[in-house]
């Protein structure tokens, strides 16, 4: 088996990918490829944007296309001159259909923070290689305080030429911020979560791609040997290494001299360690996929596979994308999801948005409209499924409000109904018990104040039987020990 892998790897070694800025690059579909040959392309440092049955879509210097045809592979040119393509996209922009830039996104976020101070604030979480601020917008009630609420992280723009990855976070912010005053559901979501947006993780690369019309992928690190750029999504320090990542500084997937060598990546690492997120999305283009850990190797067991599958499956209903384990696209070491989940147990997803790197500006509204609901789903479920993993700390459970507690009990109970694995079942039951105790406490408080609204909801929620049991025990115990409830409430609890 190993010999076959070695043979496949050598097949493309003559033309390992390079990123010399001035060469004209094309986006091509290379056909007649075996699965091993696709893996070899990744291993040689190509950005494999899309993989299918017997083909891969890659960015390649125009001068190298003939190597593939000489080897008997079919080559379909999807975009002949990518830099020219960017110029065309830019000139097709109108006042209403245009991509955000680093400047316009920064201005917009600061404007929101100024105008909606009560729910958001902006913070620089670090500086890029070239000294630009990496801006984060935090959205929550009491945004200045670090409250014990489920937290979600939404990122875009690890890769410079993947402009839509900035748009969806910006559109999600807009929806939540501008809808806050009029839409009770959006208000509830903002109030009960801490939502962090970092729409432009890699400002230098984004500016370079937009301002110089370059089909650039990496950041703008000067590697000191005439080459530029480290791939930020190969630089995270969980299983950092050479699988699906290159040690060659000229490669599109250069992983850097060491893990966490890049300031942009360190900024995300430090934010994540500080804020302890329950769930996250990192946006990329393209392929119309929803990916989840692990990425660094095939068949790496994921203890939360069931939760990832459920959430990815639900999100795919909004955008029609295909949910798969990241390594099933191809294994790659050092990506953000592996770090966020591997080290911090964040339910971390990557969206490969759209069907090309930079769709025409007229498409922006369309890809936002199918993806914003999926992002909102993730933010909401940070407070239900997100409570299952070790990152769903007791501190957060103990601060849950009634609605969030009920939703968490429902989601978790339904997903694990009939779970056959005894140790998983016990872990989940223990988690539901902790949440049920919190919910019972909130119901009891309300009953003491003379209202039965929560009790009614509990009685109508079959999954919350345990919480209801806790409530009745509490009420009966308390009433026998001198605490007053209305007579009809005690009767209602007895007759549940």
Longest dimension (CA), the chain: 89
Q: How far apart are CA 382 and CA 307, in angstroms?
A: 11
d(CA 375, CA 169): 8
Smallest gap from residue 108 Cβ to Zn ion (A):
23
Up-side HSE of residue 57: CA atoms within 13 Å toward CB?
15
CB 267 within 8 A of CB 125: yes
Question: Residue 218 interacts with Zn ion (CB under 5 A)?
Answer: no
* Comparison of 50 and 431: residue with beta carbon closer to Zn ion: 50
Q: Is the dihedral of CA 18, 20, 23, 29 positive or negative?
A: positive
Q: Number of helices and strands (H, E) in the chain?
A: 19, 12
Token pair for residue 400?
A: 């849950």
Rounded Cα distance, 345 and 303, in Å: 10
Catalytic center residues? 352
Q: Where are the beta strands (DSSP E) in 31-128?
A: 48-52, 55-61, 75-79, 120-127
Region binding Zn ion by CB under 5 A among candidate stretches 131-139, 157-165, 365-373, 480-488: 157-165
> What would the x/- binding string for Zn ion be over residues 161 to 190, using CB under 5 A?
-x----------------------------
Residue 165 in contact with residue 157, Cβ under 8 Å? yes
Least distance between Zn ion and beta carbon 165 (Å): 7
Q: Which residue is closest to Zn ion by CB?
A: 284
Kind of pairing, strands 55-61 and 151-155?
unpaired
Residue indicated by tokens 């999801």: 337
Closest approach of Zn ion to the CB of residue 216, in Å: 12
**Phi/psi of residue 241, nearest 5 degrees:** 170, -155
SS3 category, 386: helix
CA dihedral 360, 362, 366, 371 (to 10 degrees): 50
Single out the residue of 233, 417, 422 nearest to residue 340, CA to CA: 233
Which among 62-70, 156-164, 409-417, 487-495 is the span making contact with Zn ion, rule CB under 5 A?
156-164
Say which residues have a Cβ less than 8 Å from residue 482's Cβ, sequence separation at least 6.
none
How many chain residues are in contact with Zn ion, going by CB under 5 A?
3
Q: What are the backbone dihedrals phi and psi of residue 183, each rounded to the nearest 5 degrees, phi first?
A: -110, 110
Nearer to Zn ion, 25 or 159 (CB): 159
159 interacts with Zn ion by CB under 5 A:
yes
Rounded least distance, CB 78 to Zn ion, Å? 17
Burial letters for 172-197: b for 16+ Cβ neighbours within 10 Å, e otherwise?
bbebbbeebeeeeebbebbebbbbbb
Q: From the CB of 217, what's the least distance to Zn ion, in Å?
A: 7
In the structure encoding, which two tokens stand for residue 71, read together?
């080897």
Query: What is the closest distance, in whole angstroms, from the C-beta atom of residue 174 to Zn ion in the complex?
Result: 23
Comparing CB distances to Zn ion, the nearer of 122 and 129 is 129
Residues in region 279-298 near Zn ion by CB under 5 A:
284
Minimum CB–partner distance for residue 158 and Zn ion (Å): 6
Contact 324, 350 (CB under 8 A): no
Binding part of the chain for Zn ion, among 91-99, 278-286, 438-446, 458-466 by CB under 5 A, reads 278-286
Phi/psi-derived region of residue 184, left when phi > 0, alpha when psi is between -120 and 50, beta in every other case = alpha
Rounded to the nearest whole angstrom, what is the least distance from the CB of residue 263 to Zn ion in the complex?
19
In whole angstroms, the minimum distance from the beta carbon of 462 to Zn ion comes to 43
Q: Among residues 208 and 416, whose Cβ is nearest to Zn ion?
A: 208
> Shortest CA distance to 300 belongs to which of 255, 257, 337?
337
**Is the preceding peptide bond at 286 cis, omega within 30 degrees of 0?**
yes
Is residue 121 close enough to count as binding Zn ion by CB under 5 A?
no
Q: CA 323 to CA 371: how far, in whole Å?
A: 14
Of the candidate spans 115-123, 126-134, 154-162, 439-447, the one that interacts with Zn ion by CB under 5 A turns out to be 154-162
Instruction: Give me the least distance between CB of 162 and Zn ion, in Å please.
Output: 5
Q: Coil, helix or strand for 50?
A: strand
Q: Which residue number, 162 or 239, has a Cβ lying nearer to Zn ion?
A: 162
Give contact residues for Zn ion (rule: CB under 5 A).
159, 162, 284
């Amino acid at each position: 088996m190993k010999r076959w892998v070695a043979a496949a790897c050598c097949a493309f070694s003559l033309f390992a990918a390079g990123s010399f800025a001035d060469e004209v690059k094309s986006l091509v579909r290379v056909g007649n490829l075996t699965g091993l040959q696709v893996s070899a392309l990744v291993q040689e440092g190509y950005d494999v944007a899309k993989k299918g049955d017997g083909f891969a879509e890659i960015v390649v210097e125009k001068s190298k296309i003939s190597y593939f045809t000489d080897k008997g592979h079919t080559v379909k040119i999807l975009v002949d001159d990518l830099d020219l393509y960017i110029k065309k996209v830019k000139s097709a922009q109108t006042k209403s259909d245009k991509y955000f830039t680093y400047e316009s996104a920064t201005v917009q976020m600061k404007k929101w923070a100024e105008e909606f101070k009560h729910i958001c604030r902006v913070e620089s979480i670090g500086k890029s290689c070239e000294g630009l601020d990496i801006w984060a917008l935090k959205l929550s009630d009491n945004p200045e305080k670090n409250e014990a609420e489920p937290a979600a992280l939404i990122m875009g723009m690890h890769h410079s030429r993947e402009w839509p990855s900035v748009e969806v976070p910006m559109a999600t912010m807009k929806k939540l911020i501008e809808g806050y005053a009029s839409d009770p559901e959006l208000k509830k979501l903002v109030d009960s979560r801490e939502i962090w947006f970092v729409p432009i993780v890699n400002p230098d690369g984004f500016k370079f791609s937009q301002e110089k019309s370059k089909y650039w992928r990496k950041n703008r690190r000067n590697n000191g040997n005439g080459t530029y750029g480290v791939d930020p999504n190969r630089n995270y320090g969980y299983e950092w290494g050479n699988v699906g990542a290159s040690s060659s500084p000229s490669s599109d997937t250069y992983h850097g001299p060491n893990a966490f060598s890049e300031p942009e990546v360190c900024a995300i690492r430090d934010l994540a360690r500080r804020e302890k997120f329950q769930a996250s999305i990192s946006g990329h283009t393209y392929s119309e996929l929803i990916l989840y850990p692990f990425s660094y190797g095939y068949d790496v067991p994921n203890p939360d596979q069931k939760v990832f599958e459920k959430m990815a499956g639900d999100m795919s209903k909004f955008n029609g994308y295909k949910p798969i384990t990241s390594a099933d696209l191809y294994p790659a070491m050092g990506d953000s999801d592996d770090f966020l989940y591997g080290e911090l147990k964040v339910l971390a997803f990557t969206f490969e948005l759209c069907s090309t790197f930079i769709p025409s500006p007229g498409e922006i509204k369309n890809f936002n409209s199918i993806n914003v609901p999926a992002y909102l789903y993730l933010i909401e479920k940070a407070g239900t499924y997100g409570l299952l993993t070790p990152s769903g700390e007791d501190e957060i459970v103990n601060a849950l409000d009634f609605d969030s507690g009920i939703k968490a009990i429902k989601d978790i109970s339904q997903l694990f109904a009939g779970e056959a694995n005894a140790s998983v079942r016990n872990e989940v039951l223990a988690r539901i018990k902790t949440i049920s105790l919190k919910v019972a406490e909130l119901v009891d408080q309300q009953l003491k104040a003379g209202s039965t609204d929560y009790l009614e909801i509990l009685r109508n929620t079959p999954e919350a039987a345990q919480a209801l049991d806790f409530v009745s025990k509490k009420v009966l115990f308390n009433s026998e020990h001198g605490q007053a409830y209305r007579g009809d409430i005690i009767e209602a609890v007895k007759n549940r």
